[in-house]
Amino acid sequence: MNSATRPYHLLRAVAVAAALVGSVGGASSVPVSWVGPNNGYWDVAGNWSSGLPSFADEVTLSSFDTIFNTGVLSLRSYVGSGRLTITGGTLQNSEASMVGALALSGGVISGTGALTVGGPSTWSSGAMTGAGSTTFS
């Protein structure tokens, strides 16, 4: 390749890379709703309207109490008025999220998005990490 064609090949490679990143990283948010029982486990696919939530999803917990106990999951956001119990694993949010109450007895709450907890909460074990803030009101 001579020096006259080098910039063209470089620009083409950058354009192809940008297209690939856009097709993978540009996923739109999908609303996923809790349909499982009160005090049900987060990692059961049947407890969700369209299967287990994933990275780009906005999760609606409604007024149900849910239990996150295993795995590492990064979400866009989660919102509910019930109690979120975390006994293991890592739950991350990249945008503002809210729950009615929090029981942290293991695992990690993390992420870059803010978390607002509206009601009574307990923290006996586990960790809160990340660049996001957690507000108890």
Looking at residue 7, its pLDDT comes to 42
**3-state DSSP percent of the chain in helix, strand and coil, to 5:** 15, 45, 35
Residue 106 structure tokens: 């293991």
Q: What is the mean pLDDT of the chain?
A: 85
What is the phi/psi pair of residue 22, to 5°?
-65, -35
If pLDDT is split at 50, 70 and 90, which confidence band does 19 have? very low
Looking at residue 52, its pLDDT comes to 95
Hey, what long-range contacts does 51-57 have (CB within 8 A, 24 or more apart)? Answer: 53/78, 55/27, 56/27, 56/28, 56/29, 56/30, 57/29, 57/30, 57/31, 57/32
pTM: 0.78
> Among 3-7, 35-39, 40-44, 115-119, which is the least confidently predicted range?
3-7
Looking at residue 27, its pLDDT comes to 52
Question: What distance separates the 2 farthest-apart alpha carbons in the chain?
Answer: 68
